């Protein structure tokens, strides 16, 4: 999956010679799992602007240190500040870890649509809110949507309200763009990109709108943050049941955690959530909904099951 990084995630108050530890962990995960990294040019320019300010400050500090050493007649080898202090190359910092990364320029269509939405305060901008960098945020939004469509899905890591507001839920879902606010959220999301995680998300898809209608504080298409300890049971005619500890986003951007259980028959599947924990509770001890069965005896489902057997060490 393509991972898109916003400037607020890359931001640092210090001049960088290596990636910050959180970003390094994320880039290592991308490198290990084969997820390419994309930096919208707008985000790269914001990163460069801040780092250039820090470069100027560092050069001034070095010049001041030289002046102090000279004042006290201390011998030293002076090197021109511009030779030893330079603006970091973001792409080089990322690719040095072994990850694949590129800067993505906005198209003229991206600019035009961002300009239209900024002028009219359209989705995904929150209603009634304005800020000076709204146009930049919308350019990044348009780039992220386009990349998600072109890549058959993408993950945008951004804390910006324009990128994370619920007004963008439908458009992001239709484009295949998943949004997370922090590096930790991104790492959790990447951890569930396994056959087990993919299968469980597939089972849950038709249940989310029904659960939201029953009062669960989620959207009809919540982002799955974590699928932990998944268990699948095979019946005579296919998958019979599945369970896991599940984390999904709430309507307010928080996290809802629960035990999810799916019972599957030829006619229907029953989804039950237990031990529901989220801000704004309490919630019922259990919530259940019934949907049409998601998995039939298809080649795709058999491939999922085959992959799961390999994970579980069962080659039969």
Most distant CA pair in the chain, distance: 89
Residues 178 and 295 grouped into a single domain: no
Query: Which residues contact residue 51 at a Cβ distance below 8 angstroms, ignoring those fewer than 6 apart?
Result: 12, 15, 16, 87, 88
We report the CATH number of the domain holding residue 140 as 3.40.50.1010
Query: What pLDDT digit, counting tens, does each position of 46-79 carry?
Result: 999 999 999 999 999 999 999 999 999 999 999 9
**CA torsion, points 290, 305, 151, 175, in degrees to nearest 10?**
0
Is the CB of residue 103 less than 8 Å from the CB of residue 91? Answer: yes
Domain boundary among 137, 154, 189: 189
184 and 198 both lie in a single domain: no
15 and 160 belong to one structural domain: yes
pLDDT of residue 206: 95
Q: Distance between CA atoms of 150 and 142, rounded to whole angstroms?
A: 12
pLDDT of residue 300: 53
Domain end (from 158, 189, 220): 189
Q: Position of tokens 């879902």? A: 173
The reply to whether 162 and 262 lie within a common domain is no
Whether the bond between 282 and the residue before it is cis, its omega within 30 degrees of 0, is: yes
Note whether 201 and 136 are same-domain residues: no
What is 119-145 written as a DSSP string?
Answer: HHT-TTSPTT---TTHHHHHHHHHHHH
Per-residue confidence (pLDDT) for residue 315, from 0 to 100: 46
- Helices H, strands E: what count in the chain? 13, 10
Distance CA 62, CA 112 (A): 44
pTM score, whole prediction: 0.66
CA dist 241 and 235 (Å) reads 8
The structure tokens 């849950």 sit at 204
Q: Show the domain range for 31.
A: 2-189
Give me the residues paired with residue 246 across strands: 227, 258
Residue in 275, 278, 297 with CA at minimum distance from that of residue 287? 275
Q: What pLDDT sits at residue 316?
A: 43
In a domain, 244, yes or no: yes
* Whole-number pLDDT of residue 237: 76
CA distance 169 to 220: 9
Structural domains counted in the chain: 2
User: What tokens were used for 101?
Assistant: 């990364």
pLDDT for position 27: 95
> pLDDT tens track of the chain, all 316 residues?
999 999 999 999 999 999 999 999 999 999 999 999 999 999 999 999 999 999 999 999 999 999 999 999 999 999 999 999 999 999 999 999 999 999 999 999 999 999 999 989 898 988 776 666 789 999 999 999 999 999 989 999 999 999 998 889 899 989 999 998 888 778 878 864 567 778 898 999 999 999 999 999 999 999 888 887 788 998 887 889 999 989 898 988 788 989 999 999 989 999 999 999 887 677 888 999 999 988 764 445 556 666 666 666 654 4
pLDDT of residue 299: 47
Provide, rounded to the nearest whole percent, the portion of the chain with pLDDT above 90: 63
């Amino acid at each position: 999956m393509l991972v898109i990084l916003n400037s607020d995630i890359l931001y640092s108050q210090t001049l960088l010679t290596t990636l910050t530890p959180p970003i390094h962990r994320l880039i290592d995960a991308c490198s290990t799992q084969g997820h390419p990294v994309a930096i919208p040019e707008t985000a790269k320019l914001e990163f460069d602007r801040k780092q250039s300010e820090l470069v100027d400050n560092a050069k001034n500090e070095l010049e001041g240190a030289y002046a102090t050493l000279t004042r006290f007649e201390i011998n030293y080898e002076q090197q021109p500040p511009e030779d030893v202090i330079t603006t970091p190359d973001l792409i080089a910092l990322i690719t040095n870890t072994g990850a694949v990364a590129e800067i993505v320029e906005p198209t003229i269509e991206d600019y035009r649509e961002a300009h239209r939405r900024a002028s009219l305060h359209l989705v995904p901008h929150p209603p009634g809110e304005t800020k000076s960098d709204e146009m930049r945020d919308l350019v990044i939004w348009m780039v992220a949507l386009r990349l998600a469509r072109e890549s058959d899905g993408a993950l945008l890591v951004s804390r910006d309200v324009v990128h994370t507001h619920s007004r963008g839920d439908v458009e992001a879902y239709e484009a295949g763009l998943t949004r997370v606010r922090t590096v930790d959220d991104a790492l959790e999301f990447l951890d569930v990109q396994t056959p087990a995680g993919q299968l469980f998300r597939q089972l849950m898809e038709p249940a989310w709108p029904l659960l939201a209608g029953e009062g669960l504080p989620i959207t009809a298409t919540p982002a799955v943050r974590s699928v932990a300890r998944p268990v699948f049971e095979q019946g005579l005619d296919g998958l019979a049941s599945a369970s896991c500890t599940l984390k999904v986003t709430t309507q307010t951007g928080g996290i809802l955690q629960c035990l999810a259980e799916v019972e599957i028959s030829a006619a229907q599947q029953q989804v039950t959530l237990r031990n529901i924990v989220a801000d704004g509770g309490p919630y019922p001890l259990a919530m259940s909904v019934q949907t049409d069965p998601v998995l039939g005896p298809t080649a795709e489902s058999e491939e999922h099951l085959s992959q799961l057997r390999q994970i579980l060490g069962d080659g039969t």
